[in-house]
């Protein structure tokens, strides 16, 4: 939407304040980025507080464009979705994350799971479930070591269809995590209708911990509801010791965040895991 700005200038009203030109440029570069191998996955550990063990990793996409420099996924994922490039890109992410997980399993980290972010558009592909199952099979990975992270935006679109697909994946023992929980279109009823194995408490809540504000109260309730429904509850964006202590006290299972590690490149993650293993 084009509007008259304050000083009478025309300004573009775009999400994240991206200009149209910037989005166009990102899209243009995205088309060649895959074949030019400009993408990389980094990995962040998920730590079980009770067992004091790393139980899994989340794969996060990075793009270093020779023309644009480092571009945040917060910017390019949206463009990749709009242009449907997210389909081949998402397939690449899934395969690469599974390949790394297989490698780690062979190095003695057989208990690790891999969490992969899945865009709504991927889930809406008719052959998505086959792609997931086939990818696991091709690496000889058990289905229960893969977790698909979805957000509620997935559900707004085509609810019944998506639920059926998720149920089929869950029936095959693939884990489903509800990402960014507590933000956006959050509805508690999703929890009863979806085959969710893991609730991820959004990192925006962490700022309020442990000061006892309404937000912190909400976190306590989210943990309680998740536990009551037999879900694993993980808090993301945990940076400080006092957040960790508070979450542990409230019964939160797992945490992910800079407190333990920033997302690391594959080689660095191998080393990090070897140190943790002591």
Closest distance to Ca ion from the beta carbon of 35 (Å): 9
- Tell me how far apart the alpha carbons of residues 111 and 123 are, in angstroms, rounded to a whole number: 27
Is 241 one of the binding residues for ligand C2E (CB under 6 A)? no
The C-alpha angle with vertex 168 and arms to 166 and 173, in degrees rounded to 5, equals 95
Backbone φ, ψ for residue 233 (5° rounding):
-115, 125
Question: Would you give the binding string for ligand C2E spanning residues 41-80, x where CB under 6 A is met?
Answer: ---x---------------xx----------xxx--x---
With 0-12 / 13-18 / 19 or more C-beta atoms within 10 angstroms meaning exposed / middle / buried, residue 117 is: buried
Is 141 one of the binding residues for ligand C2E (CB under 6 A)? no
Farthest-apart Cα atoms in the chain, separation: 64
Is 95 one of the binding residues for ligand C2E (CB under 6 A)? no
Q: Kindly state the helix (H) or strand (E) to which residue 54 belongs, with its residue range.
A: strand 53-65
Is 38 one of the binding residues for ligand C2E (CB under 6 A)? no
Q: Where in 256-275 is the site for ligand C2E (CB under 6 A)?
A: 257-258, 263
Could you tell which of Ca ion, ligand C2E, none binds residue 32, using a CB distance below 5 to 8 A set by kind?
Ca ion
Whether the Cβ atoms of residue 199 and residue 190 lie closer than 8 Å to each other: no
Q: Name which position in 44, 46, 117, 119 contacts Ca ion (CB under 5 A).
A: 117
Closest distance to Ca ion from the beta carbon of 153 (Å): 12
Distance of CA 131 to the CA centre of its chain: 18
Positions that interact with ligand C2E (CB under 6 A): 44, 60-61, 72-74, 77, 93, 117, 119, 179-180, 203, 236-239, 257-258, 263
């Amino acid at each position: 939407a084009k509007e008259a700005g304050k000083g009478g200038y025309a300004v573009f009203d775009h999400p994240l304040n991206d200009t149209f030109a910037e989005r166009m440029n990102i899209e243009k570069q995205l088309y060649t980025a895959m074949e030019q191998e400009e993408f990389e996955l980094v990995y962040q550990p998920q730590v079980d507080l009770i067992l004091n063990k790393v139980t899994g990793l989340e794969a996060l996409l990075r793009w270093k464009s020779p023309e644009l420099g480092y571009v945040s996924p917060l910017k390019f994922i949206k463009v990749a979705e709009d242009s449907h490039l997210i389909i081949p890109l998402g397939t690449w992410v899934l395969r690469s994350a599974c390949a790394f997980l297989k490698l780690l399993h062979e190095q003695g980290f057989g208990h690790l799971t891999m969490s992969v972010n899945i865009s709504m558009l991927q889930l809406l592909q008719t052959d998505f479930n086959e792609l997931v199952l086939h990818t696991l099979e091709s690496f000889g990975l058990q289905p229960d070591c893969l977790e698909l992270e979805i957000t509620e935006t997935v559900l707004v679109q085509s609810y019944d269809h998506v639920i059926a697909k998720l149920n089929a994946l869950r029936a095959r023992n693939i884990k489903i995590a509800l990402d960014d929980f507590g933000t956006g279109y959050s509805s508690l009823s999703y929890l009863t209708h979806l085959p969710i194995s893991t609730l991820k408490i959004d990192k925006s809540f962490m700022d309020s911990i442990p000061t006892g504000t309404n937000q912190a109260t909400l976190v306590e309730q989210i943990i309680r509801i998740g536990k009551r429904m037999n879900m694993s509850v993980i808090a993301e964006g945990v940076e400080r010791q006092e957040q960790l202590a508070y979450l542990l006290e409230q019964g939160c299972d797992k945490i992910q965040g800079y407190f333990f590690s920033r997302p690391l490149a594959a080689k660095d993650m191998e080393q990090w895991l070897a140190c943790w293993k002591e």
